[in-house]
Structure 1
């Protein structure tokens, strides 16, 4: 019987210089694709302690890590506020909010290229005196190479030009909390992002959804390849959790899930 590897044990040892976290990256999909992008390295399957980001962060980084700079494209890990009991500033030397300054309004997310650029600047700023964690959004939705089709606006909003509604969406996003913004934008068709979301992709069927997920993962891996090719440091690629893609008629990564689909993630050590 193969022994299950706990991701927490790997994280605690900190046997890496740069830890690259792919949000919602499943082990099985990473295994199918990684050899197309990385020439050398060792891949292991590890078990994440959680099925969503906030829960993962609390369990993975419960201590104080003054030797780590955390660059986050995911607003659930940020320097500004506590999210579900995790206040990142208390746990790391520095938290850099890429989700704040690097957000691409058209895509509705942070492109992995932007994370790479921020990481390179941080490495120069600290002159390699710290370890770095870079948290990428992909393969998590939205699916940035799959544009939305159709117009789901309703009521009065449906009478307004889509370009005008998108402009309103850009404005209110800066003033509303994410939950309220999502409610308003979904109700009145104010979403300005051109990228497809999970709720729309799953309506087209699981095969289509999986294709979208793979495209997002390939975009991230292509950018990570560039980073690995430019560095001689020890780099590890992993994920915070996985993702349901229609298995058992489930989607996304609800908190408290135990299924391998949301708990089994890659641990890839690059041999540079």
Structure 2
């Protein structure tokens, strides 16, 4: 018997009477997740974007930002082109693994408010600035966008010859840009809070568009779905991995042209291996 089979049987023995376990570990990923047979293509939306193969100097990532929400909130006239893309993942860990894990990007500095960057690809970049570790607001349980903006400008000043990835946690909850909490049950209120959180972070995105020269892309790692009633009981709300629904994988791709930077390749850093479980729980991943 293989190790993986023994592990699977052990999990079943421990959780056979847990509805949540069957839903989250079997039903959602393997029944609804069968749509991943189309990976990396999604019918009607084309090839999924592999972000490191695209042409940019700076990539700004808005966590859990749906393409349709971005189109409603952002001033698209600020960008030279806008063309929604399909993400490689419907969850931060999945998106991070499929885009970066096992790669060597010595020409890139990653400023991240999301713990999954360090957990899944901490050794893939020239430098990872781990803001989740140093700048989490303990009252909100999330890194505020002003800390991300400031760290990104500082990183660009220190590494002007590197590509720059800037990963904001917003509009992912907790909704610090809204007077409505992210634990309410009404769907219209939820999307109102989500939009307010997106509006809040876009002000800091605008700051970066002005402060950092070069060609800049604004995108997202994945989208977001709302669950209530039957969909909530089925466990397909939020942004579970392996689900290829348009609301989860159709993401913005807004391009702002600028005078290009001269990029040089350097060494990659070593993964630190810090424990990130508490932060992932704060963000609702665990």
**Structure 2-normalised TM-score?**
0.69
Pick from 37, 55, 62 the counterpart of residue 94 of structure 2. Answer: 55
Structure 1: gaps of 5 or more residues: 149-195
User: Is 1:212 matched up with 2:190?
Assistant: no
Pick from 71, 93, 108 the counterpart of residue 111 of structure 2. Answer: 71
- Please report how far the alpha carbon of residue 45 of structure 1 lies from its aligned counterpart in structure 2 after TM superposition: 1.1
Computed over aligned residues only, the root mean square deviation of the Cα atoms, in angstroms, reads: 2.0
User: Is 1:255 matched up with 2:236?
Assistant: no
How far apart, in 1, do the equivalents of 2:203 and 2:47 lie?
Answer: 27
- Please report how far the alpha carbon of residue 125 of structure 1 lies from its aligned counterpart in structure 2 after TM superposition: 1.2
**Structure 1-normalised TM-score?**
0.72
Structure 2: gaps of 5 or more residues: 1-42, 259-286
* CA gap 1:69/1:55 in 2 versus in 1, 3 angstroms: same
Q: Which has the higher strand share?
A: 1
How far apart, in 1, do the equivalents of 2:44 and 2:80 lie?
Answer: 21
How far apart, in 2, do the equivalents of 1:56 and 1:13 lie?
Answer: 14
Alignment coverage as a number of residue pairs: 210
Q: Residues 45 and 85 of structure 2 are in contact (CA less than 8 Å); yes or no, is this contact kept in structure 1?
A: no
* CA gap 1:109/1:3 in 2 versus in 1, 3 angstroms: closer
Q: Residues 5 and 45 of structure 1 are in contact (CA less than 8 Å); yes or no, is this contact kept in structure 2?
A: no
* 1:20 aligned counterpart, secondary structure: strand
Q: Which residue of 2 aligns with 1:4?
A: 46
- Please report how far the alpha carbon of residue 210 of structure 1 lies from its aligned counterpart in structure 2 after TM superposition: 0.2
- Please report how far the alpha carbon of residue 233 of structure 1 lies from its aligned counterpart in structure 2 after TM superposition: 1.4
Q: How does 1:177-196 map to 2 (within 5 A)?
A: 196=181
Pick from 148, 162, 172 the counterpart of residue 115 of structure 1. Answer: 148
Structure possessing the higher relative contact order (Cα contacts under 8 Å, 6 or more residues apart): 1
- Please report how far the alpha carbon of residue 102 of structure 1 lies from its aligned counterpart in structure 2 after TM superposition: 1.1
How far apart, in 1, do the equivalents of 2:199 and 2:238 lie?
Answer: 19
How far apart, in 1, do the equivalents of 2:197 and 2:254 lie?
Answer: 18
